Structure 1
Amino acid sequence: MIRKKNIPVRSLPEECFQRIVVERISSDFFENDKGLNISHRHDYHIFVLQEKGTIHAEVDFEAYVNSEPGIMYQSPGQVHRALKAEDANVYMLAIYSDNINANYLAMLQYLTPLKPLTIDTTDLSVLKQAFDLCVNFFNQKKHTLYLTMLKDSCNAVVGLIISRYLRESKSLDLLSRFERVTKAFFSSLEEYFWTIKRPAQYAQKLNISIAYLNECVKNETGFSVSYHIQQRIILEAKRLLYHSEKSIKEISLALGYDDYAYFSRVFKKSTGVTAIGFRNGNRE
């Protein structure tokens, strides 16, 4: 595997003024774009409808093999790579946050992270029709209402995919107070873990006491707020150790630890191995 100083972040080409790309691709696409099998992030959201074939992928150290029609969502922060595609037909929507309906963005934050989900023939048919409409609008750049139609049709696809995932998740209306607080904490953690390390600061952001925040989170997950903060930091450290050539000191600083010796102790206590031991032990 090729590793770079930083984990590569892929952006849409500058000529994509609409900040949306939607297309139907085959296995050849995966073979021709060699950058796809190098671990990377996007600075946009990816929504995928797999119509047929088999796709091998890796997302945050977890391997996936999808051989059934299904959907997949990847958030901008996730580190992933496509390993192989066999006889695959796939629809893919790449879209920046500013083009996604605000309510849908909030739902994605509530649901993330999401794993690939198999769908039935009815859902496949509806999603194919919606994606085909998006692809059609995407290719009609001279239309007077091009951007409006493209954005609206793509948000229909986003809504359909979110709706399908929501069927597998408990409705927000049915969540207990403990569950709501815990969901809010994890959303806040995802946004601020780089700079905020103390549980009290998260409680302050949620306008509740630290005792109540801990009670909610521990009741729902079995672990304290401090534990989850540490685990989120460790996940990012693992990403950087495995997928980049940053030094331990550089990773420590990036994650908000000026004392990299202290960061190293935190990493070893959490994982059972040193940071350099994790890097060396997982290199191919």
Structure 2
Amino acid sequence: MASGTLYSKYFEGLFVRCSMKRKQAAIPRHHIIEGARAGIFIRGIAEIHTLHLHAITEPHRDNHFLLFVMDEGYVDMLIDFKRHQLQAPSISLIWPGQVHSLVEYRNAGGYTISFDAPLMPVPLQRALQQAIAHKPVFSISPGLHQQLMQLCCILHQLNNDNQGIFTVPARHSILQSILTLLANEATVPDPCNRPADTRSVVIEQDFRELLHTRFKEWKKPAEYAGALAISTSHLNDMVHQVSGFSVSHHIQQVVMLEAKRLLYHTPLSVKEISNELGYDDHGYFSRLFKKVTGCTPLGFRQQYR
């Protein structure tokens, strides 16, 4: 496979952007690449530098999932403030909305698959979200690695095949096979073999889905409980039972993660970020940020820049 080394201008770019006197800024958000067939675009990792993509070495979000399946070599990525190194056999699943950038790759082999969010079936999304959403790099067994590489190879071949009325469902089926195998390996069975409380899991996942779409407008547990047609206490009990944390904790964590992204990747003022996240009182926002993260918003910006 082709090999190459790509060194990011990432940190240099941060300082350049910090010096710009713009009042409005946003982290770039990209759609799936033009030429994606049936909502899927697969390419060899070594092909990245030959494609006319957006600035992948600059912090950005995608509106789609991005899956790396490593076969050889090394990839270094920054995902939500943390450096992650991918080496075979491993995978990385980047979720829509996560801020990421490519720092470096060396002699990298394997595949990247971009795919539209609706192609991730809800049961698989919930299983993967529960298992690996907070650890973007996931080591896999040699057996699974071999299976994934075989499926990726077939999907790559089908990517250029426009013939046949069943080519599109074939692509979708292979993608779902890849995701199903990942979910199967990532999901840890209960050692006590206790049956899961399906109702509590469904409520917790429904809450998380609402949270990621409404966190800028809704800050109170009662607002989520109302949308789910249950009482606030029942929602809190179900969420705590599944995750070990309260509804308020999850709301604060999601809001503060987005605040960190904006502090780190944009020149917006604390007041502008506070308004962007739905807080009219930026003094309250600053106090909440310090309570949750242990430092002030400006302290965080200075520390990480």
Q: Which TM-score tier does this pair reach, normalised by the shorter chain?
A: 0.7 to 0.9
Structure 2 distance, partners of 1:198, 1:74, is 28
Q: How do 1:264-283 residues align onto structure 2 when only pairs under 5 Å count?
A: 264-283=286-305
**Distance of 1:122 and 1:177 partners within structure 2:** 30
Q: Which runs of 5+ in 1 are unaligned?
A: none
User: TM-score of the superposition, structure 1-length normalised?
Assistant: 0.85
Q: How far has the Cα of 1:196 moved from its partner?
A: 1.0
1:159 to 180, 186, 194: 180
The aligned residue for residue 283 of structure 2 is 261
Structure 2 alignment gaps of length 5 or more: 1-10, 18-24
Tell me how far apart the structure 2 counterparts of residues 13 and 83 of structure 1 sit (CA, whole Å): 20
**Structure 2 CA distance, aligned partners of 1:121 and 1:49?**
12
Relative to structure 1, the CA distance from residue 8 to residue 209 in structure 2 (aligned partners, 3 Å threshold; closer, same or farther) is same
The letter for the 1-side match of 2:41 is V
AA partner of residue 99 (structure 2): V
Aligned Cα root-mean-square deviation (Å): 2.9
Residue in structure 2 matched with residue 139 of structure 1 by the alignment:
160
Once residues 199 and 260 of structure 2 are traced to their aligned partners in structure 1, the CA distance between those partners, rounded to angstroms, is 30
CA distance in 1, matches of 2:198, 2:175: 33
Percent identity of paired positions between Structure 1 and Structure 2? 29
Map Cα deviations across residues 190-227 of structure 1 (whole Å, 9 max, x no partner): 23212111011222233332223333444555543223
Aligned to 2:210: 188
| 1:169–1:92 distance in 2 versus 1, CA, 3 Å | farther
- Within the alignment, does 1:37 sit opposite 2:65 as a pair? no
Aligned residues: 281
Which amino acid is 2:124 matched to? Answer: Y
Residue from 32, 37, 49 that aligns with 1:12: 32
The Cα of 1:131 is off from its aligned counterpart by 0.6
Q: What whole-Å deviation, never above 9, does each CA across 1:241-276 have from its counterpart, x for those lacking one? A: 001222222211221112323222222332332212
| Cα distance change on mapping 1:129 and 1:223 into 2, 3 Å | closer
How many Å apart are 1:89 and its aligned residue?
0.6
Distance 1:170 1:78 in 2: 29
The answer to whether the Cα contact below 8 Å between 1:109 and 1:187 also exists between their aligned partners in 2 is no
**Equivalent residue, structure 1, for 2:103:** 83
Q: Which whole-Å deviations, capped at 9, do the CAs of 1:9-49 have from their partners, x for residues lacking one?
A: 122233435321012222x6369878222221111011221
Paired amino acid for 1:234: M
User: Scaled by the length of structure 2, what TM-score is found?
Assistant: 0.80
How many angstroms apart in 2 are the aligned matches of 1:31 and 1:85? Answer: 14
| CA distance 1:73–1:13, shift in 2 (3 Å) | closer
Residues 1:104 and 1:274: Cα distance change in structure 2 (over 3 Å): same
